Structure 1
Amino acid sequence: MTEQTFKSAYGVLKKHADTLRTQQEPNIDDLLSIVTESVEAYKVCKARIDAVEAALAQALSDSAYEDIAPSAANAAAAAAAADDADDADDVPF
């Protein structure tokens, strides 16, 4: 069995959604096949999305990102501390 692509699985979901949305009378005879195909297509799409999210998380956690992120966090913390120090001298009235 060949593995279905995200694009083809998404096409199945879109086709079935359009069919269900536009039909005037429900066709119960086709409903089981529509649901079965839709569930399988959903699983393919979900697996692809999960794989992309995992790859992005891995890419963003690489050492290059880790070197940048603490610097940005430290700069933000220093700016917040400076704002707090300035606020201490302010008279509220």
Structure 2
Amino acid sequence: MPRKSDSYLKNYQKLKKIAETMREPDEPDIDQLVVMVSEATKAYKNCQVRIEAVEKALGLAEEGSNDTLG
């Protein structure tokens, strides 16, 4: 089972590769474009889930440290 950070990095790299492919001056094959958009959407959602989990963990850590101060 891949580590969650590997999953994030893998999905982020996939997004970068798709973006680079779409920026190429050649006209993309419309069938490939549909596949690329679908893959990019999945990769984006996976990255977003990880980012939200990290934000939540950081928020909980900050709230926990404020309790000990006050």
Q: Quick check: TM above 0.5?
A: yes
Q: 2:63 aligns with which of 58, 61, 64?
A: 61
Give the structure-1-normalised TM-score. Answer: 0.63
Q: Size of the alignment, in residue pairs? A: 66
Could you say which residue in structure 1 is the equivalent of 2:53? 51
What does the per-residue CA deviation read over 1:44-90, in whole Å, with 9 as the maximum and x for residues that have no partner?
A: 1000000000000000000x3241xx6xxxxxxxxxxxxxxxxxxxx
Identity %: 39
| CA RMSD, 1 decimal | 1.9
Contiguous gaps of at least 5 residues in structure 1 = 71-93
What does the per-residue CA deviation read over 1:6-50, in whole Å, with 9 as the maximum and x for residues that have no partner?
A: 000001100000000114213212011101100110011000000
Alignment partners' CA distance in 1, 2:9 and 2:22: 20
Alignment partners' CA distance in 2, 1:50 and 1:23: 35
Contiguous gaps of at least 5 residues in structure 2 = none
Q: 2:37 aligns with which of 20, 35, 38?
A: 35
User: RCO (CA 8 Å, sep 6+): is it higher in 1 or 2?
Assistant: 2
CA radius of gyration, larger in: 1
Could you say which residue in structure 1 is the equivalent of 2:14? 12
Q: Which runs of 4+ in 1 moved over 6 A?
A: none
Alignment partners' CA distance in 1, 2:25 and 2:57: 40
Q: Which amino acid aligns with 1:24?
A: D
